[in-house]
Structure 1
């Protein structure tokens, strides 16, 4: 809870992933990918209830085996390739009412910890903001990125004077997809975690992996095995 206010965590995991088939239940450092998010959520000091939103029987069974509630089955129309990411969260809030805050935890962020979740909540409270999301500093600055025009002519993505030292560039941050926290009623109105009212919590890059490819799985497994060995 946050004070006297109730907090719901939603882990969305549909069955039709394309980049890495069945990735939500792929084994990663001895556990299904999904289990890392369930465990982090259950260890949070703020989350009152952790639920799964899924259309897939095998994913549902796996989540239940790892201690996650599945109070409903996600409708097929909310599990399509083109379904906006916010829709399953709004659906979950309609199915499981009575919560003041909602936390979106994507299963593709297995290196995110309970401490990261709690720090994001605390940043929201410090800023007196309705929403907080996690970000990380990218390895490559967008100020050094280009688009390619006709004949592969290079065009700076961001127009500015040429800067040759990274430390002279403006700081830039990217969403890492690990934690999204919002007031439930505010989210129902805005239908987006990202507005001018949203604040950010910065996470380190080594916990900001978003699993989208087989290479991501390989690297995440190495980092998770290292974390387990250090305990």
Structure 2
């Protein structure tokens, strides 16, 4: 069986939503939703949180998963996530852990992925001959045919050939939701998690909320409150 590592990158800094990864989301820290989904998935061999935040280290350990402290050089606003991945893999190698054959990157800002999504994305990766997987959702009104640049004070359509087409007649397009990336050692070596040959794992828009702003966090809490009321 392949060694499958779920890696949850959760640095302390966030400009859009301060302390984002440990903000309250339905009565628990936002990151706890991702940790619990990973723990409930059946496929992963190990789960690791990578962070430079001592409070997130404590949350991870309280949730029963390993936390690896990330150096500040890998936790700045401009730091690529691949640096955190490489640091975790190197640290685990020093600790004597098995080499990861599959890396599953789970952003803690996506609280609505299900354990089954994680297992299904991993299965798709293995069945595809280990081609990288990226989770997406189908856009509706936020279609590039409805988008414009402003050039010399005028609107310039990104897709002029489709600018007048009815929404329901537009060709489907998909948006990365940041929820699940599955890749292997080859992508780590190349330094490219996102590439032109990824296979999509399509998720519903209702599972694709990604917390980048305070409004997103309000939406997450509203959805969680509604779910809690419905469960009573």
Q: Is contact 1:141-1:172 (8 Å) kept?
A: yes
Q: In structure 2, what is the Cα distance between the partners aligned to 1:67 and 1:29?
A: 20
Which residue of 2 is the match for residue 146 of structure 1? 148
Q: Deviations over 1:172-198 (max 9, x none)?
A: 001000001112x21222211222331
Which residue of 2 is the match for residue 80 of structure 1? 76
Q: In structure 2, what is the Cα distance between the partners aligned to 1:179 and 1:203?
A: 10
Gaps of 5+ in 1: none
- The alpha-carbon deviation at position 160 of structure 1 amounts to 1.7
- The alpha-carbon deviation at position 128 of structure 1 amounts to 2.4
Query: How does 1:1-231 map onto structure 2 within 5 Å?
Result: 4-70=1-67, 72-97=68-93, 98-139=99-140, 140-151=142-153, 153-183=154-184, 185-231=185-231
| Coordinate RMSD, CA, aligned | 1.5
- The alpha-carbon deviation at position 51 of structure 1 amounts to 0.7
Q: In structure 1, what is the Cα distance between the partners aligned to 2:130 and 2:160?
A: 32
Give the 3 Å change call, closer, same or farther, for CA 193–228 of structure 1 in structure 2. farther
Q: Deviations over 1:86-119 (max 9, x none)?
A: 2111221222241111111110001111111112
Which stretch shifts more, 60-69 or 156-165?
Answer: 156-165
User: Matched residue of 1:96: which SS?
Assistant: helix
- TM-score under structure 1 length normalisation: 0.92
Number of equivalent positions? 225
Which residue of 1 is the match for residue 96 of structure 2? none
Gaps of 5+ in 2: 94-98
Q: In structure 2, what is the Cα distance between the partners aligned to 1:159 and 1:136?
A: 24
Which stretch shifts more, 121-130 or 7-16?
Answer: 121-130
- TM-score under structure 2 length normalisation: 0.91
- The alpha-carbon deviation at position 164 of structure 1 amounts to 2.7
Q: In structure 1, what is the Cα distance between the partners aligned to 2:82 and 2:199?
A: 18
User: Matched residue of 2:200: which SS?
Assistant: strand
Q: Is contact 2:145-2:163 (8 Å) kept?
A: no
